[in-house]
Amino acid sequence: MRIIYATNSDFGKHGSIGFRTFHAALEADLRGNLLKIIARGNEINHINVETTGTKFISKCLAGIQQYLFRNWNLQHLNKVIFQKRAIKKLEPCDIFHCYDYLPDLMQAAKDMGAKVILDTQLGYAKEAEEMIWPTLKKYNMKIQSITDELRAVEIADYIICPSEYHKQTFVKHNVPEEKIKIVPQGVDIDYFKPIEKKLTTRPQFLFVGTVEPRKGIGYLMEAFKGMKADLWVAGRKNKTIKLEDTENIKFLGQVNNIRDYYNKADIFILPSLWEGGPKALYEAAACGLPIITTPNTGPFFKDRTCGHIIPIKDVNALKYSIQHFIDHPMHIRDMGKIARIIIMDYTWEKYGNRKNDFYEEIR
């Protein structure tokens, strides 16, 4: 079996889609099935990676859209440039595993006889229209075209989703269920691990992620008003919204030493409206933090095992869960221990094995 991976990311870069690609490709290489990786950039030397030389272009376009022309659809241009160069590096293979909505590249691989796998990071775009776009409009954020997503889903022979929730966003919109495979994300359990902490009646909460409407940040700030607890918000702010520190909320910006904040915090909180198996959820659990989140993040645990799963856009539910941990500090410790136990089944090694086992099923 010959497998080619494609990712419009830096292969092997920690925290990126290229990092997830690396762990799937590493196992394929160990099994003797890896043909090559096509990526915009590369940070790994011992695997066959062909770069498109578009890393600088991609970063420039992202910067222009973030800081200068927020309503321009430069993400699409970025994909067009990557695909044109990536197509030239294609060759016949059995499995073409694509880590982005890249329909032209996927069709080219299919025309060469490959079975095409689309690896999704978010739910289906048609569901996003119903779920988050009304919220984005409140912030005057432009809604991007979903043409690439729709074409890629149609072309793909198989679709990989990170959770049951994300799978159902496709099934709801008539994508055949037999076409979809669930493979949860992974985490480095040796790097992210718990430390001993004292119980407290004024717990420190932690949010990690881009600070933007789809992450539920507005509902979170409302919920923390008057609470006898503190919140750190770690992540880059979307320039379309203006948020400032309050008496018990501190915006940290983008941090490099995120593990230190997991280890200083008591509870992790992520009330997202729309997600794709966020790595922060896995990292927090690996560090032994109980979690407050929504079904839309695709949580890997059941409600009240190692945290609370609450409805989206529900400030009262957020307040209740925050207050619960204030009132029951023992639950912080107990649920945190359970989180660490559960996350042991979600290592990067198991992530790579699950994806490569799936190739064997469909070959």
Question: How far apart (Å, rounded) are the C-alpha atoms in residues 316 and 320?
Answer: 6
Domain ranges of the chain: 3-186+347-362, 204-343
Q: So what CATH class is 3-186+347-362?
A: alpha beta
Residue of 79, 141, 52, 47 whose CA lies nearest to 352: 47
Q: Is the pLDDT of residue 97 over 90?
A: yes
Which pLDDT does position 140 carry in this prediction? 67
Q: Is the pLDDT of residue 73 over 90?
A: no
Give 74's pLDDT tier (boundaries 50, 70, 90): low
Q: Is the pLDDT of residue 96 over 90?
A: yes
Mean pLDDT for the chain overall: 92
Residue of 41, 38, 178 whose CA lies nearest to 106: 38
Q: Residue 104: phi, psi to the nearest 5?
A: -65, -45
Which pLDDT does position 229 carry in this prediction? 97
Q: Is the pLDDT of residue 90 over 80?
A: yes
Query: pLDDT tens for residues 212-224?
Result: 888 999 999 999 9
Query: What is the mean pLDDT of the segment spanning 97-102?
Result: 96
Check for a shared fold between 3-186+347-362 and 204-343: yes
Q: Is the pLDDT of residue 238 over 80?
A: no
DSSP 347: B
Q: Which residues pair with 54 in a beta bridge?
A: none
pTM of the model as a whole: 0.93
Q: Is the pLDDT of residue 161 over 80?
A: yes
Q: Domain 204-343: give its CATH superfamily.
A: Glycogen Phosphorylase B; (3.40.50.2000)
Q: What percent of the chain has pLDDT over 70?
A: 93
Question: How far apart (Å, rounded) are the C-alpha atoms in residues 61 and 52?
Answer: 16
User: Would you give the end-to-end CA distance of the chain in angstroms?
Assistant: 8
Q: Is the pLDDT of residue 131 over 90?
A: no
Give 60's pLDDT tier (boundaries 50, 70, 90): confident
Residue with tokens 């699409």: 76
